[in-house]
């Protein structure tokens, strides 16, 4: 990725998105079927993944919490600087906010398969999917999402399919929120 762009792991969790759907086709975000309790992880997103889950997702070994533009972010990394960042965005319109930006001309937007029974979308202000980066938003309440941003070096085995790893990490977060971690 270029030095002039913001790495996926440092992007604002609610970045705008662009189309992967035909122009003029506008989708509506589905409602969240059963809201999850996120109170414990909103200010401590590192607790959304256990060490064992992080290792299963992408051999991640350490984490660090930082202040995001909207809420705290937890970035898990490995020894090669590959990263998976998790952030919760409460009271910001939920998945509907992500969906309303689907017709922008830059970036990407694609409805993702449900994550642990919760609606999701891949999106980003810029499209780094061919460069080891992908972002997914998962609706956990009608007015709240969490995002998973991944960024892999081209030497990583995950580089060619970063969206699969963002979805895998999101599944682990939903499992934690459901109490299955």
What CA–CA distance (Å, rounded) separates 110 from 91? 23
Candidates 162, 165, 135; CA nearest to 148 is 135
So what's the pLDDT on residue 4? 32
pTM of the predicted protein model: 0.83
Instruction: State pLDDT tens for residues 39-92.
Output: 989 989 999 999 999 999 999 999 999 987 778 999 999 999 999 999 999 888
- pLDDT above 70 covers a percentage of the chain that reads 82
So what's the pLDDT on residue 164? 96
- The per-residue DSSP string of 75-139 comes to EEE-TT--EEEEEEETTS-THHHHHHTTT-SSSEEEEEEEETTEEEEEEESS--GGGTEEEEEEE
Q: Judge contact between 107 and 169, C-beta under 8 A.
A: no
């Amino acid at each position: 990725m270029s030095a002039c762009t913001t790495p996926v792991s440092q992007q604002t969790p609610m970045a705008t998105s662009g189309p992967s759907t035909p122009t003029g086709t506008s989708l509506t975000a589905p409602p969240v079927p059963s809201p999850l309790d996120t109170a414990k992880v909103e200010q401590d997103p590192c607790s959304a993944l256990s060490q064992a889950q992080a290792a299963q997702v992408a051999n991640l070994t350490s984490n660090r919490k930082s202040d995001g533009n909207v809420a705290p972010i937890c970035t898990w990394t490995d020894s090669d600087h590959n990263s998976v960042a998790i952030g919760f965005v409460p009271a910001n319109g939920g998945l509907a906010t992500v969906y309303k930006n689907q017709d922008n001309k830059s970036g990407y937007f694609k409805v993702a398969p449900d994550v642990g029974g919760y609606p999701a979308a891949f999106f980003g202000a810029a499209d780094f999917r061919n460069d080891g980066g992908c972002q997914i938003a998962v609706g956990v309440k009608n007015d709240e999402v969490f995002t998973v941003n991944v960024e892999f070096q081209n030497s990583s085995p995950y580089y060619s399919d970063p969206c699969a790893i963002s979805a895998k990490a999101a599944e682990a977060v939903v499992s934690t929120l459901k109490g299955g971690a």
